[in-house]
A and B are shown apart, each in its own frame.
Chain A
Amino acid sequence: MPAGRYKSRSLRRVFTKVISKTKLTYKKRKPKIAHCANCKTPLKGVPRLRPHQAQNTPKTQKRPQRPFGGKLCSKCTRAKIKSSIQE
């Protein structure tokens, strides 16, 4: 039986390899996938990282390099630039 604080499923269960056996460890869950602010489709090139992991990864690995990268999807950015030209 797990200890009382691990009974609720808010923590992820991970089997880690120890010498000659596997051991149950508990880890916090990953955040949700980032979504486009306009059309709500899941964004590509944006990793799911916990805050302390995100702190240690470079900025260039956390979002695409185009304008509005990491906020809008590529389709929406193209539409936005096109509409800004026509005005």
Chain B
Amino acid sequence: MYEIGRLCVKIAGRDAGKKCVIVDILDSNYVLIDGETRRRKCNLTHLEPLNQIIKIKKKASNVDIIKEFKKLKIEIKTTKPKKAEKRPKKTKKIKNNEEKTAIKTVKQTKTSKTSSTKEKKATPKKKTVTTKKVK
């Protein structure tokens, strides 16, 4: 019943209801299938045989099987592998010395502000000292 070239319909799984061909017999229970389904190992209990037999070689390639299926007027959708787009590599920006110093001063002001707010009530004179640092 199950020989190489036998047309089948897959019953189980996400490829259920799709037609396929037996390409190779691996075991008493397992076969290799290809066609509308993905090319994969399959249990015989997950297949329902049809009357037709296609003439193909043992371990026929996917391209040959697509040609044979076209003769039966079954078109197989072929998906091209996506080309990986080149990602722009992250490059570290080299900062000038002026920019570096500017960032440092900003950081200092942030820290000084927090410290100054605490000290505001106690000593308002220190506020002037912190502003000098910014410049």
Contacts and interface: CB of A to CB of B under 8 A. Distances in A.
Contacts of B50: 85
A74 B48 CA distance: 15
Contacts, number: 24
A84 to B, nearest CB: 8
Interface residues of B, number: 9
Contacts of A77: 11, 16
B14 A65 contact: yes
A66 B9 contact: no
A87 to B, nearest CB: 13
A40 interface: no
B12 interface: yes
The interface residues of chain B, by DSSP majority, are classed as loop
A66 B14 contact: yes
Interface residues of A, number: 9
A86 to B, nearest CB: 9
B72 to A, nearest CB: 15
Contact of B9 (A65, A74, A81): A81
Contacts of B16: 66-67, 77-78, 81
Interface string B74-91: 000000000000000000
Nearest to B10: A81
Contacts of B11: 77-78, 81-82
B1 to A, nearest CB: 15
A80 to B, nearest CB: 9
A81 B17 CA distance: 6
A67 B17 contact: yes
Contacts of B13: 65-66
